[in-house]
Amino acid sequence: MRRSNLRFILPLLLVTSAAVPPGAQEPPSPPGSQKALFHLREVMVPMRDGVRLQTVILTPVDRQEPLPILFRRTPYGVPSQPPVPLPPPLKELAQDGYIFVLQNLRGRFKSEGVFHLSSWVDLSDPKATNETTDAYDSIEWLVKNVPNNNGKVGMYGVSYEGLTTAMTLLHPHPALKAISEQAAPVDQWMNDDMHRYGALRESYDFEYAVMEQADKDKNTHFPFETYDTYEWYLELGPLPNINAKYLHGLIPYWNSTVDHPDYDEFWKKEAWVNQLHASTVPNLNVAGFADQEDPWGPWQIFRHAEENDPDHTNFMVAGPWYHGQWQSPKGDAIGLLPFGGHETAREFRETIEAPFFRYYLHDQGKKPAWQASTFQSGSNTWRNYALWPPREAKPTNLYLQPDGTLSFTAPYAPATQNSYREYVSDPANPVPYRQRPISPTYPGGDWRTWEVADQRFVDHRPDVLSFVSQPLEHELTVTGPIAADLFASTSGTDSDFVVKLIDVYAQKAQKNEWDSESGPKSGQYAQSLNGYELPIAMEVRRGRYLASYETPHPLPPNQPIEWNIPLRDRDHVFLEGHRIMVQIQSTWFPLIDRNPQKFLPSIYQAAASDFVAATERIYCSPDLPSHLVLPIMP
């Protein structure tokens, strides 16, 4: 649900020394060390049910005037001494002057109570406590007990901290004047961390549940016996072996996952965003187009708040970032891909995030004049939009042709060709989701950038279909929500289909490549981008849930049916000379658990003998025109 591979966020304030007791003076700095910029005070803040939460208050040493409070709530631990030197992600905010407050959630580290790795909110029950009520109670205490605050509170955070920020929208405290939820999950069965439309994100769900629930006093990394987790998960076999061999029922969230395979009341209660229908507090939503964890939630919060936004206080920011990259020091590239000389993370904080809080918490500057601001990939430029999606973006069908090409012309039907392409999907040899060896999700590693990894490592597998356009004669700009509409069949009774929209870089001489696309003047670097297959959008749908998320149904064998696969919002320019590619496959391992391809009441109870190979067909005919829908700008 929320991560700790975002280790550049936690070191904003995390350190290891003992905290200064409340009321005590900080010890003098050792000779030659940097002077602390904040006074640190640790307190236990009481909630309405008597549970106390460990909270650290950092007050600037050089500011005397009343200041607003910037508040973050985390499951990952709070600092024990002031940050020295000031971390880059805090620099732009600290210049304006804030009292920074960081709090451990219930049941984490010194905070009392029980930690639940879910986000249920029932505001109709006056005795219920949750992240919404805990934030409300904490703000109530802070504005009354933190010296020299000006009565205004802001909240922000990435990932889990984004979740606890966003959930204040359901019942905000009157002193809460602005928030910035960044990469916040909203519905863990439908999308974000743990599932994609009911397809289990196996490696992430398992590894994250262990990290947060194995020990309340630390973040635990599962000790894999082998470095290549593809091999480990394949040898593990069916999902019941996780508890049988390793967890033994001791991790509550994993138990909930396997006990609730379908979209039942457990998951519907967890989907807190369904209670949101208005912009109750000015909110700067932030999302990464290449976020490997929470790419979906911020867009859902933005759209739900937009249902009632008369004062236009609901804003959206997005860029070609991995999870939380906008809070890294520079953000000048992702993986091998440069951002054309832009330091997008610093630019975001200087020109968007800091001015947003400055306007609402310091009464200085101007309100954003746009509804959405993006750093557009391909062109490597910042774009502001009065409305999102922009009205001028025209939904346009890009058709999959039976000869393996792509065209904006509907499929033809030559007598000499089949109206479909097919492959055999074998769960015993699943398509890896990134190049092997696949390192563990935590700690960090190459997990961050896999969503922009070159897809040439799979494009000639017999169980991956590739459809490719001719080189583009002019730039093609895609701005808004993308979707796939497939007509497909399987010889089995259940199946997955994964769709990838890919920008294939031109095969050019090295000099032209880095001249035309602002890459660094490095022969090795330019060569690596020659023919690069850059994923722009990727998603999976699970067949058993096509008719109903609540009640799974078997698929009719060898019968083509329609698969609607949302590919989320994007803003990307396919450059002249590049080609558009669509890849289709039925396994994506171990990111997504293996579908047995034989219908079962629950995949989570499958036995090894249930997994069977299946023939998958993608239809490309006038009657069954598989296509993508691209929002093309004029």
Q: Domain of 453: which CATH number?
A: 2.60.120.260
* 324 and 369 co-located in one domain: yes
* 400 and 302 co-located in one domain: no
Domain membership of residue 231 (yes or no) is no
Indicate if the pLDDT at residue 108 is higher than 70: yes
Indicate if the pLDDT at residue 30 is higher than 80: no
Domain membership of residue 46 (yes or no) is yes
Which pLDDT score is estimated for 275?
Answer: 97
Do the strands 38-46 and 99-104 form a parallel or antiparallel pair, or are they unpaired?
Answer: unpaired
Distance (Å, whole) CA 182 – CA 271: 17
* 315 and 419 co-located in one domain: no
* 579 and 618 co-located in one domain: yes
Indicate if the pLDDT at residue 216 is higher than 50: yes
Domain membership of residue 215 (yes or no) is no
Which pLDDT score is estimated for 10?
Answer: 41
Domain boundary among 385, 416, 451: 385
Average pLDDT, integer, range 438-453:
91
* 381 and 459 co-located in one domain: no
Domain membership of residue 32 (yes or no) is yes
How confident is residue 509, by pLDDT bands cut at 50, 70 and 90? low
Within 8 A by CB and 6+ apart from 574, the residues are 378, 472, 475, 476, 477, 478, 503, 580
Indicate if the pLDDT at residue 100 is higher than 90: yes
Which pLDDT score is estimated for 503?
Answer: 98
User: What percent of the chain has pLDDT above 70?
Assistant: 91
Indicate if the pLDDT at residue 16 is higher than 80: no
Domain boundary among 385, 418, 448: 385
What are the tens digits of pLDDT across the range 477-497? Answer: 999 999 999 999 999 999 999
* 366 and 415 co-located in one domain: no
Distance (Å, whole) CA 165 – CA 72: 7
Distance (Å, whole) CA 27 – CA 60: 16
* 464 and 602 co-located in one domain: yes
Three-point CA angle 73, 69, 372, nearest 5°? 75
Which pLDDT score is estimated for 512?
Answer: 46
Indicate if the pLDDT at residue 413 is higher than 80: no
Domain membership of residue 69 (yes or no) is yes
What are the tens digits of pLDDT across the range 574-587? Answer: 999 999 999 999 99
Q: 523: which 2 tokens?
A: 């022969």
Average pLDDT, integer, range 15-40:
53
Three-point CA angle 359, 362, 365, nearest 5°? 35
Domain membership of residue 546 (yes or no) is yes
Q: 632: which 2 tokens?
A: 């093309």
* 361 and 449 co-located in one domain: no
What are the tens digits of pLDDT across the range 351-375? Answer: 999 999 999 999 999 999 999 999 9
What are the tens digits of pLDDT across the range 111-120? Answer: 999 998 878 9
Which pLDDT score is estimated for 516?
Answer: 46
Q: How many domains does the chain have?
A: 2
**Mean pLDDT for the chain?**
92
222 close to 440: Cβ distance less than 8 angstroms: yes
Average pLDDT, integer, range 324-337:
97
Domain boundary among 385, 406, 436: 385
Three-point CA angle 442, 162, 17, nearest 5°? 60
Q: Which domain holds residue 463?
A: 394-632
Which pLDDT score is estimated for 22?
Answer: 32
* 511 and 620 co-located in one domain: yes
Q: 634: which 2 tokens?
A: 């004029």
* 555 and 603 co-located in one domain: yes
Bond preceding residue 634 cis, omega within 30 of 0: no
Indicate if the pLDDT at residue 38 is higher than 70: yes
Indicate if the pLDDT at residue 33 is higher than 80: no
Indicate if the pLDDT at residue 45 is higher than 60: yes
Indicate if the pLDDT at residue 390 is higher than 90: yes
DSSP assignment of 207-258 equals: HHHHHHHS-TTSPPPP--SSS-HHHHHHHH-STHHHIIIIITT--HHHHHHH
* 411 and 350 co-located in one domain: no
Q: Domain of 95: which CATH number?
A: 3.40.50.1820
Which pLDDT score is estimated for 412?
Answer: 77
* 417 and 554 co-located in one domain: yes
Which pLDDT score is estimated for 445?
Answer: 75
Q: Tokens 């901290």 label which residue? A: 161
Domain membership of residue 584 (yes or no) is yes
458 close to 583: Cβ distance less than 8 angstroms: yes
Domain membership of residue 71 (yes or no) is yes
Task: DSSP letter for 28, please.
Answer: P
Number of helices and strands (H, E) in the chain? 13, 25
The kind and range of the H/E element at 67 are strand 67-74
What are the tens digits of pLDDT across the range 128-164? Answer: 999 999 999 999 999 999 999 999 999 999 999 999 9
Residue 275: count of CB within 10 angstroms of its CB = 15
297, with CB counted inside 10 A (0-12, 13-18, 19+), is: buried
